[in-house]
Amino acid sequence: MPFRKPDEEGGRPTDVTETLVARGTAGAVAVAWDADQAVTALYSANYRSLVRLAAMLVRDAGTAEEVVQDAFVAMHGGWRRLRDPDKALSYLRQSVVNRSRSVLRHRAVVEKYAPKGLPDAPSAEAGAIGELERSAVVDALSRLPPRQREALVLRYYGDLSEAEIANAMGISRGAVKSHTARGMTALRNVLEQFS
């Protein structure tokens, strides 16, 4: 769409460059008018669609608006370098896509080098409850017969296999299974009484 300024004499609208050449002046005022008017017209007609385009690329409405506004500011600043004003919308679209890519690259770098958060520390209540549970289990273990207690401690605290427990206790693997099963049942009964 050509951007035209109405002629002051009331005649036909002429292109700004035609007016500048005909009058023999290449002043900054005429170029500023052209850039202001053209960018304003483009802004009012295409701002929303460009924001939607950027939002689809950067997945954030606020950032999309910033990208589009920066593209319009850059177009206004470089309007005199624009060879074909009819391709201004294409230039804006490409500018929005390039700026969106830049935002995504920046996000990737920030995420890659962002400091890792410290793991959440357990609350004081969790520590107190954990200590109560541990003391309840230790107390319940102390009430078990010695062989059952030994089998459970070696299995679940020592993380030994049945063969290693049998060797450590000097009993058969079948006896380890029996002591472990009976110890778990007795431990469960004792802990249920504490609850």
Nearest in space to 67 (alpha carbons), one of 106, 33, 35, 32: 106
- Rounded CA-CA distance 171/151 in Å is 10
pLDDT in tens, 169-185: 999 999 999 999 999 99
Q: What percent of the chain has pLDDT over 70?
A: 82
Which pLDDT score is estimated for 29? Answer: 43
Q: Is 59 left (phi over 0), alpha (psi -120 to 50) or beta?
A: left
CB 191 within 8 A of CB 136: yes
DSSP state of 61: H
Contacts of 139 (CB under 8 A, 6+ apart): 194
Which pLDDT score is estimated for 195? Answer: 65
For the chain, strand residue ranges (E) read 4-5, 14-15
2-6, 87-91, 158-162: which range is least confident on average?
2-6
Q: What is the mean pLDDT of residues 80-108?
A: 92
Which pLDDT score is estimated for 17? Answer: 38
Which pLDDT score is estimated for 94? Answer: 93
Checking if the pLDDT of 124 tops 90, the result is: no
Which pLDDT score is estimated for 33? Answer: 60
28-32, 115-119, 142-146: which range is least confident on average?
28-32
Q: Mean pLDDT across the chain, nearest whole number?
A: 82
Checking if the pLDDT of 120 tops 80, the result is: no
Give residue 73's pLDDT band: very low, low, confident or very high (50, 70, 90).
very high
- Rounded CA-CA distance 56/100 in Å is 10
Checking if the pLDDT of 194 tops 80, the result is: no
Question: Does the reported pTM lie above 0.75?
Answer: no
Count of residues in the chain: 195
CB 103 within 8 A of CB 54: no
Which amino acid, one-letter code, is at 149? R
Which pLDDT score is estimated for 25? Answer: 39
